[in-house]
Amino acid sequence: MEPDTASPESLPIFSIMALETLDEAGCLNREIILKDFIPYFKSITTKRGSIPWMKKAEAFVWSEFERIHDRHAFCFLCVPRWLTFLEHTKSRIKGEETIYNLKNWMLNNGIICEDKTDKDWGLYGKPHRLNYATSPNSILHSIFTKKTLKSDMDALISKQKEDGRRDTWYGIGEGTILEWAGIQTLSALKILKNTIALKIKKTNK
């Protein structure tokens, strides 16, 4: 689930990635969460809050937003998780305000890598627009123009190697770099699938 730290031990990031994968595959349900995840989350809960109690958990997440602020906005692995929380939080006014600020910060602070000839374009630290607008239904999709999104889409397609993969420099060794290349490739395929599927749906209408 997390190539950089392949080990038998549990960590929150492993559980988060497992939950996301199960949800994406349509296999996540209440029983799995209560039986397989909540006991572990309870065991790692600190006095600061974290998981699993809802009010304490939400307060903890908001405190982390304030602590981290804009430092991780370039991380396209973090931002979708932020947006999931902001989309569903019951603190709607605060959530909408945070989304608005995130949109403005992303547009005006050089987050997007515009140089498509850069060998690291689209990788960790040099994200493209589609890292954030992963589908036309994404919250951040509307802040980008159709022209710039299409340009990034064309570049994303062109980056594919002959064997089908998208390379990455990320990883702590040759083995994990290859594993991350698999994750990078899967991410690109999902973006392409989401965009094409929506276009087909609109055409059929």
List, for residues 143-158, the tens digit of each pLDDT value: 999 999 999 999 999 9
Quote the domain boundaries for residue 167: 115-197
Would you state the pLDDT for residue 125? Answer: 81
pTM for the full predicted model? 0.75
* Residues 183, 98: Cα–Cα separation, whole Å: 29
Residue 17 lies in a domain: no
Tell me the per-residue pLDDT of 74-86, one tens digit each, with 9 for 90 and over. 677 778 888 888 9
Residue 124 located in a structural domain: yes
Mean pLDDT of 131-148: 90
Count up the domains in the chain and report the number. 1
Domain for residue 135, yes or no?
yes
Q: Are 138 and 132 in contact (CB under 8 A)?
A: yes
Provide the b/e sequence for 26-57 (b: ≥16 CB within 10 Å): eebeeeeeeeebeeebeeeeeeebbbbeeeeb
- Residue 101 domain flag: no
- Asked if residue 7 belongs to a domain, the reply is no
Confirm if 59 and 49 have CB atoms less than 8 A apart: yes
Mean pLDDT of 77-102: 87
Is 168 inside any structural domain?
A: yes
Domain-located, residue 145 = yes
